[in-house]
Amino acid sequence: MTIYTLMKRKLLILTLTVSAILLGCSGDKESKPTPIQGGDNTAKTVTVGLLPKIKGIAYFSSCAEGAREAAAELGNIELIYDGPTDGDPKKQAEMIESWTVDGVDVIAVSPNAPDVVANAMKEAMAEGVQVITWDADAAADTRSYFVNQATAQSIGEGMVNVMIDDLGPDTEGDVVIISSDATSANQNSWIDVMKPAIENSNLNLATIKYPGENASQALADSQDVIKKYPNLIGLFGISSVSFPGAAEAVEQTGHSGKVLVTGLSTPNDMKKFVHSGTVRSVVLWNTVDLGYLTIYVAEALATGKFEKGATTFTAGRLGEKEIVGDNVLLGDILVFTKDNIDNYDF
Amino acid sequence: MTIRERLRKFRWWHELGLVILIISLLVAAGTLMPRFLDIKSQLLLSRHIWEMAILALGMTLIIITGGIDLSVGAAMGLCAVAFGMTFQYTGSLALSCVAAMLTGGLGGAVNGVLISKIKVHPLIVTLATYAAFRGIAEGLSQGVSYSQFGEAFSQIARGKWFGVPIPAYLFLALAVGFAVFLSKTPTGRFLYAIGHNERAARFSGIRVDRIKFWLYATSGMLAGLATVIYISRFNTAKADAGTGFELDVITAVVVGGTSIFGGRGNIAGTVLGLLLIHETRLFVGRYWQVDELKSIIIGALLIASILLYRILSPKKGRE
Amino acid sequence: MNLLNRLLREREYGLTAVILIIGASVAFIDTGFLAAGNLKDLIIRCAPTCIVACGVMLVVLTGEIDISVGSLMALLAALMGMMISETRMELSMWLGIPATLMLGTLVGAFTGALVTFGKVPSIIVTLGLLTALRGLTTLIMGGNNIDGLPDGLGQMTKYGVLGMPISVWTAIVVIIITGMIITQTALGRRLFAVGGSRYSAKMVGLSETRLKLFVFAYTGFLTGLATVVDIPRLPKIEAGIGIGFELLVITCVVVGGVSISGGRGKLRGVLLAVLLMTMIRPALTFMDVGESGEKWTRAIQGMFILLAVITDSIAQRRRQRRIHDH
């Protein structure tokens, strides 16, 4: 075969590829979800971009569930739920920029690192996009409202208090925090609150482990600290990976009853450990309601229903929610125990 | 010259293929989503690629010599920490930028020495420094993030001259420089010789070790430069800067037609590869809004583009 | 100097020395490090890495590379969970596990086919799969974790039979089989021939294609095996399983003295490297490096890799110089 015919064939195949791509794309045109329209045709459709810290983990999936519920109820919402699957805050900023260009009406951000997304959020606001935060807050000048379920302060203190209560206030001994990466902004902000709280109690913080978002490593690190510190009485698992990992380690090393585990995770992930007694309390909030409330706030802001200076906000099935300053409050953190954990499914 | 002869002399088939792919992608994207082709938003969103693009220039040269640099992303973490710490102690942005570049250069030089003097395979050296650089960055900074570099500094990445983002000028200047170096200078041509047959290049008097050393040091310095833009874009200097960049950069270079075994490739191809990957990612992200799809499609694109090239290549079994 | 020479010359001696030194010095600080329970945990953690490293080592011996095993593990874990979890399809474990192993083998064979028939360099194929399979896993899991694996499987992987979890027994069997493949079979000799010099292998008329197909499929199978025997040990199956596993395995293979350009390497070295890489983190825990020291963990791991790589290269040069001298 001469080079010439090969070239011709090459061009032919390229053309085929190109048409295949074109066909493939246009074929998908029909399957693109159309916005959910309410009965009222005059109602303006509001596009809301809901940005989680990490897409693809159970915590945010349950938030998205609540958000979809609210969008269906309201009827005039086109909900976009997307976020970085690896939790890279840089990609969060890039998604905010893309959404701004594409004319999204409201962007609700759960910033994984507030500094990193700040510039993108400011730019979005300058372009007339309503920017709010949910789940975690950013600097006040980068968003209008924060749908607040818990501050770093209340999360950090909540975990330490639960541990002290469950152990008995006079109990003395070592505790260890199993975190995520050494660079995880959220976990580090909670640790900053937890350290003084632990210092002011009878507990002693032996060390902090950083297994990353790696389940095997979280399990291994927890096993090691259980063996290393004989006076260990408590483990804090402060990410949705390290909490189950720490609980599993306590069960596998046969320390259930001797080492108590607490932390942040969804009830569904922790049910089996609560029922086996390894974990007595799980600290979290109602994540489904959090997503639900966020969409209600977003809709009200976009349609001008949100009154400046109001002290309450009515959000569908949740009823009236308090507004303090620029924070819409979901309510206190929840503590799931043996008695109530089965009432929740998320 | 007959058409047939002209065709035989034509050396740009891969680039032509990439151009056709890019155009068809843009046509498809424009049909499905007319606002995708809006120049203003394209220019704005181009800021997602500049750091990667700068790294890809150094990576192209390295891969042409048959080497690889897996440590560029981790080096960015180290540079970011150097930048942040310098800023904390001196308060000078200029000094911080210099510190970032120097740190990058130093990291690259470590790679260079291990590869050219101690003769360890580049894949292994940079796999080791990949772990070491990121680890040192974490240890030195204790995971803290440095911020508040001021509004003026963020203009490096976010500002525009005549409607075009500032990093674009920087990248274009660098790209032209690298392209001229690669195609017009003797040292640039030596890179291909090294990639084809290192031993032969050595015997023919090319100072392979010295060239290799400077290539990796340059790659490190480019990482420092990319870090400055990265920090300016996000107003944050932290040990996790550039996470995962190494794989994206290698993907762009390889899609751009540079042979992973060395000896073939050019800057134009890399630029097209970057463009294809950037536009693909942008389109998938903006049209489907499903982040998972991006990695699936880019992974498939990488394999498919090389497979296609292999199948269509007139010279079979070149390795 | 004789001892030093020997330590440098033979990768296995060097690694053993380093492992003993670390073990002894950590035990000096805290004897708990050498407690039976801790050693057992260490062996359990080595098991999945050993299993997969056996496959990747063969791949590297043929001069190829596989950096997709971590993502493949996540995909297989997700598929296995979907098949056998009592909250999902509720298939029998005896159906789901062979299916998982088969899927692993298929993906491995697909990789091998792209490398051999498609003539795509293995680093590119597996780099593409590294990203694509991770995305696919996240997509099919849809943000929901999978739990409710059969109790029997959990018991066997956590506590096991005869005092050790099944992952350890599996690893032992895999190591023996791989060792026999390398030393006892014609296939093993071909491996070194192909990796050492493609040209000479072709001259003798060995089928490079079939060999490479085999090593990639074997690696896929072993990844499936590691998934089945190790993942049920974790509290739940999530999309993030196995992140960074590919680099750990490659590091172990390289630190174990397998030449990245193929043709040279010993299984013993790789196994020792797995032990070394696995013991660094617990060693630091037992040394009680403190809160700020914890953040240096990754740097220390990186330094160990760097050190191993440099000493290997220096040793190799010494060896070559000796050959020249004689």
Q: Domain residues of chain A, as ranges?
A: 46-149+287-331, 152-284
In DSSP terms, A47 is beta-bridged to A78
Rounded to the nearest angstrom, the gap between the alpha carbon of residue B213 and the centroid of all alpha carbons in its chain is: 18
- Of the two residues A9 and A205, the one the predictor is more confident about is A205
Chain B residue at shortest CA distance from A94: B48
- Which residues on chain C are in Cβ contact (under 8 Å) with A241? 238, 240
Chain C's closest residue to A54, CA to CA, is: C143
Q: What percent of chain A has pLDDT over 70?
A: 88
CB contact under 8 A, A97 and B138: no
pLDDT (0 to 100) of residue C4: 66
Chain B CB within 8 Å of residue A116 CB:
yes
- Chain C, 293-322: which have a CB under 8 Å from a chain A CB? 294-295, 297-298
Of B24, B28, B45, the CB nearest to A97: B45
What pLDDT was estimated at residue B5? Answer: 78
CA distance A305 to chain C (A): 33
Q: Scanning every residue of chain A, which has its alpha carbon at the shortest distance from the alpha carbon of B31?
A: A26
Q: Where is average pLDDT lowest: A119-133, B29-43, C13-27, C182-196?
A: C182-196
Q: Does A65 touch chain C (CB under 8 A)?
A: no
**B82-104: average pLDDT:** 97
Domain covering A152-284 in this structure, CATH number: 3.40.50.2300
B199 and C CB contact within 8 Å: no
Does C15 score more than 70 pLDDT? yes
Question: What confidence score (pLDDT) does residue C204 get?
Answer: 56
Counting every residue written for chain B, the total comes to 319
Identify the top-confidence range among A41-50, A61-70, B8-17, C204-213.
A61-70
A46-149+287-331: CATH number: 3.40.50.2300
Q: The domain C47-289: what is its CATH number?
A: 1.10.3470
Q: How far is CA A308 from CA A136, A140, A313, B3, B63, in A?
A: 22, 16, 11, 73, 59
What would the mean pLDDT of A215-226 be, rounded to a whole number? 95
Per residue in A242-292, pLDDT (tens digit) is 999 999 999 999 999 999 999 999 999 999 999 999 999 999 999 999 999
Q: Which of residues B299 and C9 earns the better pLDDT score?
A: B299
Cα distances from A109 to residues A125, B199, B296, in angstroms, run 13, 55, 25
Q: Domains of chain C: which residue ranges?
A: 47-289
How does the average pLDDT of chain B come out, rounded?
Answer: 93
Chain B residues within an 8 Å CB radius of C257:
none
pLDDT for the residue numbered C317:
78
C295 neighbourhood in chain A, CB within 8 Å: 182, 210
Angle at C209 between CA C208 and CA C215, to 5 degrees: 90
Among B11-15, B73-77, C63-67, C288-292, the range scoring the smallest mean pLDDT is B11-15
Element (H, E) at B13: helix B13-32
| Interface with A, mutate which of C29, C75, C145 (most A CBs under 10 A) | C145
User: Is the CB of C295 less than 8 angstroms away from the CB of B139?
Assistant: yes
- pLDDT exceeds cutoff 60 at B317: no
CB contact under 8 A, C139 and B292: yes
Residue A150's pLDDT band, with cuts at 50, 70 and 90, is: confident
Contacts of A223 in chain C (CB under 8 A): 41
Confidence at residue B62, expressed as pLDDT on a 0 to 100 scale: 98
C-chain residues near A248 (CB < 8 A): 233-235
> For residues A175 and A202, is the Cβ–Cβ distance under 8 A?
no
Yes or no, beta carbons of B285 and A22 under 8 Å apart: no
What are the phi and psi torsion angles at A225 (to 5°)?
-70, -30
A191 close contact with C: CB closer than 8 A: no
Report pLDDT for B48: 95
Which residues are within 8 A (CB) of B278 and not within 5 positions of it... i.e. 6 or more apart?
B46, B48, B49
Q: Is the pLDDT at A122 greater than 80, yes or no?
A: yes
Tell me whether residues C234 and A208 touch, CB distance under 8 A: no
Can you give the pLDDT at residue C192?
84
Total beta-carbon pairs less than 8 A apart between chain A and chain B: 121
pLDDT, mean of residues C154-179? 93
Q: What is the pLDDT of residues B256-300, one digit of tens each?
A: 999 999 999 999 999 999 999 999 999 999 999 999 999 999 999
What residues of chain C lie within 8 A of the CB of A273, using their CB? 235
Q: Quick one: pLDDT at residue B13?
A: 81
Instruction: Give yes or no for residue B192 having a pLDDT over 80.
Output: yes
Q: Which of C209, C297, C298 to mutate: most B Cβ within 10 Å?
A: C298
List chain A residues with CB under 8 Å of C282. 220, 224
Note the pLDDT tens digit of each residue in C243-274.
999 999 999 999 998 988 888 889 999 999 99
User: Using alpha carbons only, what angle is made at residue A99 by residues A94 and A104, rounded to the nearest 5 degrees?
Assistant: 160
Our CA-based measurement puts residue A278 at a distance from the nearest CA of chain B, in whole angstroms, of 31
Q: Would the CB atoms of C45 and A269 count as touching at under 8 Å?
A: no
- Mean pLDDT value across residues C209-220: 95
Query: Of all helices (H) and strands (E), which one includes residue B160?
Result: strand B160-161
Q: Tell whether C281 lies on the interface with A, counting CB pairs under 8 A.
A: yes
Give the closest-approach CA distance of C303 to chain B in angstroms: 6
Strand locations in chain A (E): 46-51, 77-81, 106-109, 130-134, 145-148, 173-178, 203-209, 232-237, 260-264, 279-284, 312-315, 319-324, 327-329, 334-336
Residue A38 pLDDT greater than 60, yes or no = no
Chain A residue numbers with beta carbons less than 8 Å from the beta carbon of C143 are 55-58, 60-61, 64
| Residue C161 pLDDT class (50, 70, 90 cuts) | confident
**Contact (CB<8Å) C138/A219:** no
What token pair was written down for A49?
């971009």
**What's the gap in Å between the CA of B86 and the closest CA on chain A?**
19
Sign of the dihedral through C-alpha C307, C308, C313, C317? positive
What is the structure's pLDDT at C197?
A: 62
| Cβ contact B299–C133 (<8 Å) | yes
Rounded to whole angstroms, the Cα distance separating B200 from B211 reads: 15
Confidence band, pLDDT 50/70/90 cuts, at residue C188 = confident
Tell me if chain C has a CB within 8 Å of the CB of A268.
yes
Helix (H, G, I), strand (E, B) or coil at A129: coil
| pLDDT, tens only, C120-139 | 999 999 999 999 999 999 99
Percent of residues, chain A, with pLDDT higher than 90: 75
Does A46-149+287-331 match A152-284 in CATH topology?
yes
Nearest 10 degrees: Cα torsion A307, A310, A312, A314: -10
- For residue C122 the two structure tokens come to 């293995």
Neighbours of B161 (CB within 10 A): 9
Considering only CB atoms, C132 lies closest to which of B121, B139, B299, namely B299
| Number of Cβ within a 10 Å radius of residue B118 | 15
Q: What is the pLDDT of residue A34?
A: 40
What is the least distance, in Å, from the CA of B162 to any CA of chain A? 19
Are A224 and C30 within 8 A, CB to CB?
Answer: no
A58, A212, A215 ranked by CB distance to C234: nearest:
A215
* A221 contacts in chain C (CB < 8 Å): 281, 285
Which of B142, B261, B302 is facing C295, going by the closest CB pair?
B142
Report the residue from B24, B235, B244 with minimal CB separation from A21.
B24
What percent of chain C is predicted at pLDDT more than 90?
68
Does the distance separating the beta carbons of A210 and C141 come in below 8 Å? no
Ranges A67-71, A230-234, C300-304: which has the least confidence:
C300-304
User: Closest residue of B to A12, CA-based?
Assistant: B312
CB atoms B244 and A88 under 8 Å:
yes
Distances (CA, A) of C313 to A209, B121, B213, C9, C257: 34, 9, 17, 10, 10
Kindly list the residues from chain A whose CB atom is less than 8 angstroms away from the CB atom of residue C35: 227
Nearest CA in chain A to B155: A119
pLDDT at A43: 63
- If contacts are CB pairs under 8 Å, which of residues 9-38 in chain A contact chain B? 9-10, 13-14, 17-18, 21-22, 25-26, 28-29, 32
Identity of residue C265: G
The stretch C218-242 carries a mean pLDDT of 96
CB contact under 8 A, C129 and B306: no
Cβ–Cβ of C130/B124 closer than 8 Å? Answer: no
Question: Taking CB atoms and an 8 Å limit, are B48 and A83 in contact across chains?
Answer: no
Contact A207 C288 (CB under 8 A): yes
At A29, is the pLDDT very low, low, confident or very high (cuts 50, 70, 90)? very low
Q: Is the pLDDT of residue A33 over 50?
A: no
Backbone dihedral region for residue C90 (phi beyond 0: left; psi -120 to 50: alpha; all else: beta):
left
Q: Which of C226, C176, C294 is nearest to C44 (CA)?
A: C226
